[in-house]
Structure formats: structure tokens, C-alpha cells
Structure 1
Amino acid sequence: MSLVAPDPTRTVPLPLRDQADVRDRWLTQRLLDVLPGLMDRAGIDLWIVVGREYNEDPVLATLLPATWLSARRRTILLLHRSDDGVTPAAVSRYPVGQFLPAWTGDTGDTGDTADAGERAQWAEVRRFVEQAGPRRIGIDVSEHFALGDGLSHTEHRLLTEALGPYADRLVSAEQLAVGWLETRLPEEIAALRAMNRLAHEVIAEAFSPVVVTVGTTTALDVAWWIRQRFHDLGVEPWFQPSVLLQRAGVPLVEDRGTLLPAVPYDAVVRPGDLLHCDVGLSSLGLRTDTQRNAYVLRPGETAAPAGLRAALAAANRMQELTAAALVPGRTGNEVLSVARAAAAAEGIDGDVYSHPIGYHGHGAGPAIGQWDQQEGVPGAGDHPVHADTAYALELAVRRPVPEWDDQCVRLGLEEGVALTAAGLEYLDGRQTEFILLPAG
């Protein structure tokens, strides 16, 4: 199974060596074309990103060469904004890809002890700052975004001590870190299209007689098949896939004010069941997040009951209302409020909990609700929506099904979308009809 990627001569997934080439090329382009504007928007002249091996700042991982699977010892990256663009420099014992080497590892002390090496490394950071003379030095500390809060306590202390009087110029790089993580190149969006198509193909195969034997296969079997299928195809999930069942006679149960399915994870799939999956794959340093639904036909049926089809139509309408509300300039909380008000005006009972996606599955950027926070998300929900970003458009509706004695179903949908100057686009379409499984 393969899909067309940014270049029609390539497929997703790519061989690992080709992936590394693509990711390093993207990084160079992002440093040249994306970062200067983000630094100007945040008002930061120098961005210092620090991490130690196996305790990497989440931002640091997105700046390292593709062949670096972690930081090496202590890795310090300095990104200086000047009239000529951004100068990326590395104060590191080892060369760091596209970053200019600002330190050879020499200690200047006899004995070459570990302590001497540490002092020399921080002294080089101080020298760089003195020469650059930045007015505002951004560091990754953030109250609201975990992905922008990667500077550890120890590294913060050592940096502050090394900078001396320049430490007064340290400011939170929250907005810069979020901007860096959420902004997508056109080439990255093209890759996400291919990745979403692959996810949809795997889901279609999972919800088919190839995988599901009605009366024998469990929901948990299907979830594990999806994970194994991704692995066999050369991509990996960023969370354990889940498959949930809803069926007539098993009502939803309340959890923190929200109604959720109550059929056990290991229940056997039966005729008349509604199947729902939530899957996300990783490739090229990017993530997808997808939810789709299938219905198991009862003997004599050729389609899902009208009540279930009406629930899917309501979910599609809620997608449209949320997509219409998702415009640059609004905060995540404003998008949530507008979308929910529009849905309520049309009599749709549902929740919106969409989120940015890119380097991370639940990515940095505006939170547009959470499943248990429908009145807004303090902090992360106050971040504005920007163009050249990607989202998992995630939501659910609740609706009684006449054919199930008016039992309420919760129908969740999640599709990848990109938001650019041209508007919002689905990265590989959206589900408007149930995937149908024969009864046997």
C-alpha cells in the first residue's frame, strides 16, 4: 500500500534514508523562510534552545538533524535574528547539521575535566551573546504550553549564571516556540495529505471482512491489527489505536459530564454494531489523527439505519460550522464559542475539541475546546489561529436513534485539515457515509 507524496516520484512511507534527506531539507527551508518572520512577530532577537541527552526540549528535537535521535551530551542552539536573516549556531561538543559550530569543545584548561568543559561551553554562550547584543533573549519557558516549556530547571540556572547581566534580557519564547511548532511548509502539508490518505486506507481495510469476522473478532483485535498494519507498512502510531463499539441496548454512560460508549473494549463485533476508530500515524517527523465510523449490517439490511445516518449528517454539519469558524485572527476559545453557538442554533447537540497537529499529535497552538472543557481552555485556548497551520478537526454529536428505541449515540469524527491563505482544506476528504460491514 503506497500513496503519492510531495514529489510524485516518491511514496509514503519513504525509506528511512530518504526521509532523513527530506526532513533536513525542510529544516533548512524553515530556518531560512519561516523563522525570521516568527522571531519578528514575537519580538525576539536571540532564541536559545538547550537540552541534554534524553531530556530534550521538545523544540530542540525539531531543530536537530534527522540522523540525531536525541541530543548529544548538552546541546545548545543559538538562533540570532539580524538584518541578513537568522544565523543558526551550535555550542555543542559535536557538529549539529545546518548550525554553524560556535565551539570546538576545547576547555582552555589543563586536565580537560568535565567541569572545565561545562564552563567553557557556557562561556562560549556568554561570548556569543556579548557579540550579538540582543535586546530580548527568548528561552523555552511557558505556563500554558508544555511543548514550549522545555528548558529544565538546571539548564535555566546554568544559563542565567553564565549570562550574568545579560540575564535581565531573558524572556519567555512561548509565542515563538508555538509559532515554530505549528507553522507548516507547503511541502509538509503535501506530505500530510499523503499520510492522511494512508490512514484512511488502513481504516478502510480494518473495517472490512479482511480483518473483521462478525461474531468472532473483537474491537480490541481490530485495534491491534491497525497498529500492526502501520508497523508493517513502515510507519508507527503515536498512540495506541482504539476501536469502540456502540450497540442497541447498551446505553452511553456519563463520565465527567459527557456521555461515552459503554460496550467493553474486548467485546465481539455483532450485527447492528456501530464501530468507531481513533488512529494516528507518524512519518517524516509529522503526525496524523483520524476518527472514522463503520456499521455492521443486520441480515436483510443494505444501509445503516436512518437514525444513524442522521447522526452522521449532523456530525458533518458540525464539521462545516467548526470549519467556518476556524479563521486566522480568532483565538481557539473564540472558534469554539462561535462553532458551538452555530450548532446550538441548528439544534445540534455536540462537542468540539479540535487541536493543532504537525510535529506532535496534540500540537502546539490554539486549543479549540477539550472533550471535558466546552466552555473554553484557559491559556492555550487564548492563542490566536494563524495561517499555514494544520489541525485535527475533531468533534462529536449526540443524537437519539429511533431504530434503537431512541437510545442516544455519540458519533465522533476527526479529519486532518490545513489552513492556508487559500482557506481551509481537508487533507484527504472527510467521511460522509458509513463504512459498511456485511453481517457474515
Structure 2
Amino acid sequence: MTMVLRLIVGFGAWVLLILAISNSAQAKNSEQGVNDIKVPQVLAHRDRAEPINRILKHRLDVLLPELMAESELDMWLVINREYGEDALFYTLVPEPTFAARRTTLLVFVRNEEGVERFSVSRYPIAGFYESRWQGGTDQQQWQRLVEIIKDYDPQKIGINVSEEWAVADGLSQGLYSTLMSHLPEELQKRVVSSEELVVRWFETRTKPEKEVYPQIVAIARGVIAEAFSSKVITPGVTTDKDIAWYIRERFEELGVKPWFQPYVTVQRKGDTNDPESPFFGRSDRVIMPGDIIHTDVGLCYLKLCTDTQEMGYVARFGEYEVPKGLKEALAKGNQWQDILTSQYKTGRTGNEILKATQVAAKKQKLNSSTYTHPLGFVGHAVGPTIGMWDNQGPTPVKGDRKLYPNTAYAIEGNVKVKLPEWDNQLIQIMLEQSALFDGERVIYLAGRQTEWHFIR
């Protein structure tokens, strides 16, 4: 294939991606039943490189200068060794990059025009990080880095060490010791943590990312719709684990990466549930008519991750619609979501959002629990934590982090409701949908569940 043809194919892949978003990923349940949601097109691995690298270049050229200025860093060093890379490294390098080569030293220097970026490594990363070292011994590599630092004379040199945030703590002890042993004492005094920069880099979603994120979320919702249907479920035969493995294998078939093993739980009339228990539902069950089923799934595609929980109901013989009590229970789950998302205000902390949600939910007489987390390059991402299932607040440190615009979240939690059709047995509606806060409102990236998956 000629280079020109490859460029045409790459551009075509990007166009197909955008078309897929407009045609399918923005579909909402008010316009389309959950059982009618389809899995959108997934690009072949080769065709993903162009959009991934386009997004990365935009982040490096547009976002990074803003974040380095915010964090007041003059220079940022990202240092990795082959097969000991941290999660941050893979957010900074283009496709296809599978590992750091030997010791890879990435250098970012803030100036009036933006951010200058390069490597001090044996192997350059073409188009993104040209090398300023001609090769030699390990000792010569570190000496060259020190020469460059002296030439730029930065007052604040950021390195990836952090007590609280794992993604900002990727510099190994060995590399840290090597760096500091080569820096003169005066430069050692200028070394600071790049924690704030790394957290903001991870949590911020750019315009190109917002264009593709809806399709990524729609893949998860589409696969759930398949799994929670008669295509997969035969009452009296199919188990919860059969459904979970269908979801896992479907993700693998599509070529998207699950970031945890999907699971399915079952609630059944007659179950004895402790009202104080954080979660209802049991595993290792054969799915039977009249069961309530729930799943939790997460996938990563185009370097962005999702987290989704939805609910389904298995019809009894002669039952042609979801019982009224279940419809009302799901509506209460949506009511809780609305209360939570209405509390999103720029500058509020996660703990403040959690407290306001709890107060408003109590006024509406909702028995709810909130445990919402950020999304992005990883599933349980960095940013303000808004409650935890085992800590309903306040959450130290991470709950105290402030909310920024253009950040994504898994709107996650549950409500407990008495179901009349089950003799007022307490059931649990567990919901989780991927959404983005744009600074003014929370937008569900591929709609949200407002009606039951109904297995007839």
C-alpha cells in the first residue's frame, strides 16, 4: 500500500468514526428502547493509530502548555525503563508504542510559545519526540540530560512522585536515585513533584476526545443490550456467569479491552436482604422468570475507558411488560442521578457534591448511596471522588479535590426501593453511566438507562 493510500485510509477511518458517533452513539432511551441499542462500528487496530495520534498531538500542543502554566513547572521529566513503564508513559506516546526503549527520557520545557518536547534517548519517537542524544553509555545518557537541564536553567523541575495519586507516582526508586545522583546540588533543590500536572493531564478531556467518547460508551451499552436479551438468556438454563462471559468474549471479539471481568448478579422474590447491606443480588444462579438481573462492565478503546451498570428483568410466563413497581423503582434511580448531577458546580469538592446530594436525596425520601468516580485513561481515574461504597463521606484527600470542567465521571450509585409485586420486598436499583461535565452541566455520553432491559 502506498503512503498516499494509507493517508487516505487513515482519514477515512476518522470520518467513519465521526459518522458512527452521530448515527448511533448519541441515541438516548427516550428515542430508542434499551433492547434496540446496537453496537456501533469498532475500528480495526491499524485504523485506530491515526485518530489516537491525532488526539495525542492535540493534547500535547494545546492542553499541555495550559497545564504546565497552571502548575508553574518550567520543565517536566518523564523517565521510564523498558518493561517497567508507568501508566502515564502510555498517555504521552503515540501508537504503535509497546514499551520504553532501554531508558527513555522524555523532556518537556515550557516557554513563551508553548511547550518544547524531545527525548534524551537511544531511540527517537518520530513525529513526537526527536532525540537530543547521539548514543553512548548509560552514564553518557544521564550526563547529556544534565547538560540540557543546565542549558535551559529551569527553576522548577517536575518529576512523577506522589504520596496520594498512583498515576503521579510512576518514577521508580532506582530511576529517582540515578537522576538525583547525577544532578548538581543546586539543580536537586529545584526538583519538585509534578503531581498536580499529572492529575490534570489524566482528568482533562479535550475537544477531539469528546467527539469520540460517546461511541466508546455506546459499545458498552450495546453489548449489555445484547447480553440482556433472549439472544443470550434462556430462563431456566442460562447462569449469571454465562452472561458475564458473553460480555467478556464479545468485547474480545470486537477488539476492545475489558479493564475488569464483567459480572452479573441476580435478585429474586423471596431473597432475604439485610437493609444495611451495601449491595443486594447474588451470584452462581440460574436465571429464572421473574428475576431482576444487574451487570457491571468496563472497557477501554482509543485509550479511553468506560464504566457501566444496567438493570434487566426476565418476564414471567404470559407477562408482556415490566411490572409497574419496577418501572417506578427505576424512575427513583433516575431521580437520584438527577439530584447528583445537579450538584456539579465548578470549584466544588467531591465531598461537597456528595453532601449536597445526600441532603437533597433525603428530602426526596430516597434511600440512596453515592459512589461516583472519574473516568478517562483508566477506569478508576483521578479527580474528585464523590463518595465510596464503603465510605459515604467525607473521603479524605481525593474527596477534597475540586471539580474542573471537561472532566468525565461514572455516575454510580444505587437506591433501595420496596417492590409491591414482591410483597414489598426491598430491592436495589444499581446504576452507573459514563458522563462528562462541561463546566455547566453533566452530559451522558451515550444516554442513560431510563427503561428496563426486558427479556421476553
TM range (shorter): over 0.9
1:340 and 1:118 map into 2 onto residues whose CA distance is 56
| Equivalence for 1:402 | 420
**Superposed displacement of residue 42, structure 1:** 1.1
1:155 and 1:299 map into 2 onto residues whose CA distance is 65
1:350 and 1:433 map into 2 onto residues whose CA distance is 19
1:247 and 1:3 map into 2 onto residues whose CA distance is 46
| Equivalence for 1:278 | 296
2:356 and 2:14 map into 1 onto residues whose CA distance is 36
Which stretch of structure 1 is more off in the superposition, 58-67 or 415-424? 415-424
| Equivalence for 2:237 | 216
Asked if structure 2 preserves the Cα contact closer than 8 Å seen for 1:3 and 1:197, the reply is no
The equivalent position to 1:153 in structure 2, one of 173, 188, 199, is 173
2:180 and 2:427 map into 1 onto residues whose CA distance is 55
1:259 and 1:164 map into 2 onto residues whose CA distance is 54
| Equivalence for 1:423 | 441
| SS of equivalent residue, structure 1 residue 7 | helix
Cα 1:42–1:6, aligned 2, differ >3 Å: closer, same or farther? farther
| Equivalence for 2:191 | 170
State the Cα deviation string for residues 328-373 of structure 1 (Å, max 9, x = none).
2111111111111111121111111111111101112111111111
Asked if structure 2 preserves the Cα contact closer than 8 Å seen for 1:251 and 1:261, the reply is no
| SS of equivalent residue, structure 1 residue 322 | helix
State the Cα deviation string for residues 2-30 of structure 1 (Å, max 9, x = none).
99965327974212122111111111111
| Equivalence for 2:72 | 43
Asked if structure 2 preserves the Cα contact closer than 8 Å seen for 1:354 and 1:369, the reply is yes
1:36 and 1:76 map into 2 onto residues whose CA distance is 19
| Equivalence for 1:8 | 19
Asked if structure 1 preserves the Cα contact closer than 8 Å seen for 2:345 and 2:440, the reply is no
**Superposed displacement of residue 376, structure 1:** 2.4
The equivalent position to 1:261 in structure 2, one of 254, 273, 280, is 280
| Equivalence for 1:99 | 129
Is the aligned partner of 1:193 residue 2:223?
A: no
Gaps of 5+ in 1: 107-116
* Alignment length (residue pairs): 424
Asked if structure 1 preserves the Cα contact closer than 8 Å seen for 2:20 and 2:215, the reply is no
**Superposed displacement of residue 81, structure 1:** 0.6
Asked if structure 1 preserves the Cα contact closer than 8 Å seen for 2:404 and 2:439, the reply is no
| Equivalence for 2:348 | 330
Is the aligned partner of 1:125 residue 2:155?
A: no
2:448 and 2:110 map into 1 onto residues whose CA distance is 41
Asked if structure 1 preserves the Cα contact closer than 8 Å seen for 2:77 and 2:157, the reply is yes
Please tell me the root mean square deviation across aligned C-alpha atoms, in Å: 1.9
State the Cα deviation string for residues 255-309 of structure 1 (Å, max 9, x = none).
xx6432242x221000111110111122111111111110011123233333322
Is the aligned partner of 1:203 residue 2:224?
A: yes
Identity of aligned residues (%): 41
State the Cα deviation string for residues 50-81 of structure 1 (Å, max 9, x = none).
11112112211111121111212111111111
| Equivalence for 1:81 | 110
The amino acid that maps onto 1:65 is P
| Equivalence for 1:134 | 154
Cα 1:75–1:287, aligned 2, differ >3 Å: closer, same or farther? same
Asked if structure 1 preserves the Cα contact closer than 8 Å seen for 2:306 and 2:379, the reply is yes
The equivalent position to 2:310 in structure 1, one of 268, 273, 292, is 292
1:361-380 to 2 correspondences below 5 Å:
361-380=379-398
The amino acid that maps onto 1:90 is S
Which stretch of structure 1 is more off in the superposition, 212-221 or 74-83? 74-83
**Superposed displacement of residue 91, structure 1:** 1.5
Asked if structure 2 preserves the Cα contact closer than 8 Å seen for 1:349 and 1:399, the reply is yes
Q: Which has the higher strand share?
A: 1
Cα 1:118–1:12, aligned 2, differ >3 Å: closer, same or farther? farther
Gaps of 5+ in 2: 1-12, 22-39
State the Cα deviation string for residues 225-279 of structure 1 (Å, max 9, x = none).
011111112212111111111111112358xx6432242x221000111110111
**Superposed displacement of residue 419, structure 1:** 1.5
Q: Identify the structure with bigger relative contact order (alpha carbons < 8 Å, sequence gap 6+).
A: 2
